[in-house]
């Protein structure tokens, strides 16, 4: 679905478009990345985003196509995307490399290109499909939680200290009860200790409440499995 909806196939050759590098690559080097893990069910997705996320787990609004080595670092939350100059329609996005050690590492073996070339780089698309802000924000938010939990702050660029997600504060993406438990599970802190995150939630889930802790553990388990490949 991502290949089709992102119009990723090279019309003249056999390559696939990498949204991050902005070029056609050998298909074997391309991996799909899902902001909210496909390992989870639609029901879990709606516990975090509400009923507006129905039927979007496998949609292009929840994913990008990218070089597989870049995808690995997206899965590890070392790289995120944030909106640029377009806070209302979210048509433009850029990558932010949060792990300073990556900046001088080669993207591909034998290549002179390092991850520095994608830091602050605008994503490119061949079709009209774009990521939904709420799913991209989920990925960004988990990265912020992991930063809050880690003591290895020296490996992170100064970007993590600033509000990289620059848009009006009235935008709300996540359900409070599920977000609160996920913050405790990943960030090892309360939502009140992460003001950048806490301003972007709305009321309770339309789904049955009371099992948010179990839901948070399911999400963490899915994220960890994805990181392990």
pLDDT tens, position by position, 178-225: 888 888 899 888 877 777 676 666 655 444 445 788 888 999 999 999
pLDDT the model gives residue 159: 47
Q: What is the mean pLDDT of residues 22-38?
A: 95
- The percentage of residues in the chain with a pLDDT greater than 90, rounded to a whole number, is 48
Q: Which residue has the higher pLDDT, 96 or 170?
A: 96
Is the Cβ–Cβ distance between 136 and 34 less than 8 Å? no
Q: How far is residue 130's CA from residue 61's CA, in Å, rounded to a whole number?
A: 6
pLDDT band of 171, cuts 50, 70, 90? low
Angle 70-71-74 (CA atoms, 0-180°, nearest 5)? 95
With 90 as the cut, is the pLDDT of residue 51 above it? no
- Indicate if the pLDDT at residue 87 is higher than 80: no
Mean pLDDT calculated for residue range 57-66 = 96
- Where in the chain are the domains? 2-227
97, containing H or E segment: strand 93-97
> Is a pLDDT exceeding 90 seen at residue 22?
yes
Task: Over range 37-47, report the average pLDDT.
Answer: 91
pLDDT of residue 207: 43
Mean pLDDT for the stretch of residues 79-104: 84
Q: What is the pTM of this model?
A: 0.89
Phi/psi zone of residue 53: left (φ > 0), alpha (ψ -120 to 50 degrees), beta? alpha
HSE of 137, CA atoms in CB hemisphere, 13 A: 25
Q: List pLDDT tens digits, range 105-160.
A: 999 877 788 999 999 999 999 999 999 999 999 999 899 888 888 754 444 445 45
**Rounded distance between C-alpha atoms, residue 147 and residue 77, angstroms:** 9
- The structure tokens 């995307």 sit at 81
Q: What is the pLDDT of residue 181?
A: 87
179 vs 63, higher pLDDT: 63
Mean pLDDT of the chain: 84
Q: What does the pLDDT read at residue 40?
A: 93
Q: How far apart are CA 140 and CA 98, in angstroms?
A: 10
Alpha-carbon gap, residue 9 to 25, rounded angstroms: 10
Structure tokens given for 227: 């990181």
């Amino acid at each position: 679905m991502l290949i089709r909806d992102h119009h990723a196939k090279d019309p003249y050759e056999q390559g696939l478009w990498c949204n991050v590098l902005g070029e056609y690559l050998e298909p074997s080097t391309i991996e799909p990345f899902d902001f909210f893990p496909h390992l989870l069910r639609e029901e879990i997705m709606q516990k975090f985003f509400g009923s507006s996320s129905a039927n979007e787990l496998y949609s292009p609004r929840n994913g990008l196509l990218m070089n597989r080595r870049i995808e690995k670092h997206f899965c590890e939350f070392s790289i995120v995307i944030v909106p640029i100059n377009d806070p209302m329609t979210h048509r433009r996005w850029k990558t932010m490399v949060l792990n300073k050690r990556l900046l001088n590492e080669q993207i591909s073996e034998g290549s002179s290109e390092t991850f520095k070339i994608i830091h602050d780089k605008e994503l490119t698309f061949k079709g009209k499909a774009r990521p939904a802000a709420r799913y991209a924000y989920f990925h960004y938010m988990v990265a912020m939680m992991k930063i809050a939990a880690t003591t290895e702050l020296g490996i992170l660029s100064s970007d993590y200290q600033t509000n990289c997600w620059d848009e009006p504060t009235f935008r709300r993406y996540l359900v409070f009860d599920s977000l609160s438990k996920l913050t405790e599970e990943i960030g090892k802190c309360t939502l009140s200790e992460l003001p950048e995150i806490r301003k972007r939630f709305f009321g309770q889930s339309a789904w049955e409440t009371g099992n948010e802790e179990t839901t948070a553990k399911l999400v963490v388990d899915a994220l960890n499995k994805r990181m392990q490949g």
